[in-house]
Chains A and B, each alone.
Chain A
Amino acid sequence: MSAHSSATSSPLKGYFAVWIALLAGTGLTVYAATLDLAPYNAAVALGIATIKATLVALFFMHVWHASEKLTKLVVIAALFFLLLLLGLTMSDYATRLWS
């Protein structure tokens, strides 16, 4: 990462905003778990978790202002292979009872 962020001179406001958003997201996900959203509970929980994780990665880990595309490529590559592992494995489990 380069020595100076290319963002505004004080990134502090952004950090505190993200912090509040993360705490709010935590509260929201706890609340959502108490609601009966039938098949969508998991999707909502994971969706909120993904938003939180994205905020941490983009703003706390500075991926948003990363000076290089390489950083973003590493993140995307790791996620891609993770999803490959999960997805292709599930393709076996999800189709075992099909016949």
Chain B
Amino acid sequence: MSMATAIPQPAERENYLNKEYGVWSWLLTTDHKRIALLYLISITFFFFIGGFFALLIRLELLTPAGDLVQADTYNKLFTMHGMVMIFFFLIPSIPAVLGNFLVPLMIGAKDLAFPRINLLSWYLYIIGGVMMLHCMLTGGVDTGWTFYAPFSTSFTNTKIVEAGLAIFVAGFSSILTGLNFVVTIHRMRAPGMTWSRLPLFIWAHYATSIIQLLGTPVVAVTIVLVAAERALHLGIFDPKLGGDPLLFQHLFWFYSHPAVYIMILPSMGVVTEIIACFSRKRIFGYHFVAFSSIAIAVFGFLVWAHHMFVAGISVYSALVFSFLSYAVALPSAIKVFNWTATLYKGSIHYDAPMLYAFGFLGLFTIGGLTGLFLSALGINVHVTDTYFVVAHFHYIMVGGAVMGYLGGMHFWWPKISGRLYPEGWARLAALIVFIGFNLTFFPQFVLGYMGMPRRYYDYSHMPEFQVLNVLSTAGATVLGVGYLLPMVYFLWSMRYGKPASDNPWNAAGLEWKTASPPPTFNFDEEPVVTWEAYNYEELDAPHSEEVPVAR
């Protein structure tokens, strides 16, 4: 039974969407909510681009022979798929869309601490995106998204410098977003909004921001070194000068491992909000979840060389990183236990956001557990650079992060747009996504374990891989349909959807105490918080005293 309530809207109130019209009112806006929508459109565009490359990859892999594209082209396909999806979709996705929109609302602020820097962030993202598009259209890159030296520095003829600079610029977009969130969360909380009353979505974004701030600069300077080596012949990784290709990998992965936590932490924050709301319960172990978010951010910086176990690092160093990689699973596991405990004896409602949250729980757990397999040195030797790894990270990034993103988009859609999406279609889409996802990626675990290498366009030496590859491609098609559906009905709902009330889910959180969509400055009066987070008992109490409404 759907929980969402709709009320007929009399005359349309002034809100952030209708306050001003015209292209420049959007392109020069400093309103965090409008910037969030600018990001929404941009990242969706890049999601299509990245998805297009995925489609071509899966089509090629339908047959063992390399018969759709040439080898070099295939190298470019998986490279561009990875670069676009990671840097231009996943990393911005939840923070730049949902985070930008919700962080000020959730803490009771009028905007982020630095609204103009927020707009600058978006422009940097766009500039980086345009550079990346140009790079792709004029030849692209074939090194894999990891652009390892010395291939990327000394041997490839593709457009490394341009792609690197595009990522460099987009990286600063990420850094500035993180900076804005940290300062906002420290300085702009409404009276009474103590750290222990913050929604866990905020804690998750705070932790994410720490990673963005401390990790991204390292990959930025690494890109500078690669560009310097190619363009100015300042060889740092060049073995001919005594350089060490592994140094590149150390510097690269120092960021790129924590980067995966940039991609998953915000999603965990979303899932926490959804599970609490649709179980009608306070999250179990609030402080555990809050501190494990910070722990994930810190521990995430300690494990990067688990991407280098077979690359030639010292075995003693590998032992240390293997141990630390087990340790980093602990805070994530704590969160899974807490979510599960929240569900226990909760009053569960199966609206679309909750379906995505359930999907997240199962798929993230599988992805996370397979990460532990990979952390074991003995197993790693066998499955590194096989489809096992590919399946592992897609379970977390797609089964985890993207499910969380979709769940969050559904959950907050009424707040963002002032409209309800069609619940029936949404549940169907969630189911299609779940089925399509598993059909695509579960066979890849098996393929990898059986020995199919990643980044190969031709597997005709082992034609028995074909069956599972065909299943995977079929799944990808289903998944694609599942992704298209929300785009269609979200757009549809903006015109034809039922108008949403302030709080259609009867959810806890300051963002639900203002209109849907909110006015430009979020609240008519500054909220004063006197209640704990996730006060679902109060919200659900019959004939309850009106929970203090800040208007």
Chains A and B touch each other in the complex, with CB atoms below 8 Å apart: yes
Which residues on A are within 8 Å of B, measured CB to CB? 70, 77-78, 81, 84-85, 88-89, 91-99
**Consensus secondary structure, chain A interface:** helix
Task: Give the shortest distance, in Å, between B296 (CB) and chain A (any CB).
Answer: 15
Stretch from B2-10, B160-168, B315-323 that touches the partner: B315-323
Known: A92-B317, A98-B314, A99-B315. A81 touches B301 (CB 8 A): yes
Contacts of A77 in B (CB 8 A): 210, 214
Known: A70-B186, A85-B218, A85-B254. A91 touches B317 (CB 8 A): yes
Contacts of B210 in A (CB 8 A): 77
**Consensus secondary structure, chain B interface:** helix
Q: Is the CB of A95 within 8 A of B314?
A: yes
Contacts of A85 in B (CB 8 A): 218, 254
A-B pairs with beta carbons under 8 A, tally: 40
Task: Give the shortest distance, in Å, between B209 (CB) and chain A (any CB).
Answer: 12
Q: Is the CB of A84 within 8 A of B320?
A: no
Task: Give the shortest distance, in Å, between B188 (CB) and chain A (any CB).
Answer: 14
Task: Give the shortest distance, in Å, between B17 (CB) and chain A (any CB).
Answer: 36
Contact sample, A vs B, 24 pairs, CB 8 Å cutoff: A77-B210, A78-B214, A81-B214, A81-B301, A84-B301, A88-B302, A88-B304, A88-B321, A89-B247, A89-B250, A89-B254, A91-B316, A91-B320, A92-B246, A92-B250, A92-B305, A92-B314, A93-B314, A94-B314, A95-B317, A96-B313, A96-B317, A98-B314, A98-B316
Considering the complex, give the chain A residue whose CB is closest to the CB of B244.
A93
Task: Give the shortest distance, in Å, between B337 (CB) and chain A (any CB).
Answer: 28
Interface residues on B, range: 10 to 19
Contacts of A91 in B (CB 8 A): 314, 316-317, 320
Task: Give the shortest distance, in Å, between B122 (CB) and chain A (any CB).
Answer: 25
Known: A70-B186, A85-B254. A92 touches B302 (CB 8 A): no
Q: Is the CB of B214 within 8 A of A92?
A: no
Q: Is the CB of A92 within 8 A of B301?
A: no
Contacts of B320 in A (CB 8 A): 88, 91
Q: Mark B293-304, 1 if CB is under 8 A from A, else 0.
A: 000000001101
Contacts of A95 in B (CB 8 A): 314, 316-317
Contacts of A93 in B (CB 8 A): 314
Q: Mark B308-337, 1 if CB is under 8 A from A, else 0.
A: 000001111100110000000000000000
